[in-house]
Amino acid sequence: MVDRIINLAVGSVTSLLLIVTLISAFVFPQLPPKPLNIFFAFCISLCSVSVGILIYWYRQGDLEPKFRNLIYYILFSIIMLCICANLYFHEVGK
């Protein structure tokens, strides 16, 4: 039960940050969007697709339980990439 709550929490935070990052890539700092922002968001999306496939295989039982920590690590990396991308998009620190 606790495992399910952790999965939902981490997945929700990652999904929310990914959506915010994708929207920010196309909207900020101005329209039309910068190609570098779109490329950055596209690369993060590709990483998210691969972890989504891993999660799917894990839920199907095709992966051993030891891969759960790897999935959490990749999700944490995606969260950090999304935070970094949003800081870059919004020009924080300039």
Tens-of-pLDDT digits for all 94 residues of the chain? Answer: 787 788 888 888 999 999 999 998 888 777 788 888 899 899 999 999 999 999 889 888 888 888 889 999 999 999 999 999 999 988 887 7
b/e per residue 8-45 (b: at least 16 CB within 10 A): eeeeeebeebbeebbebbeebeeeebeeebeebbeebe
pTM for the structure as a whole: 0.85
Residue spans per domain, the chain: 28-94
Per-residue pLDDT at 45: 92
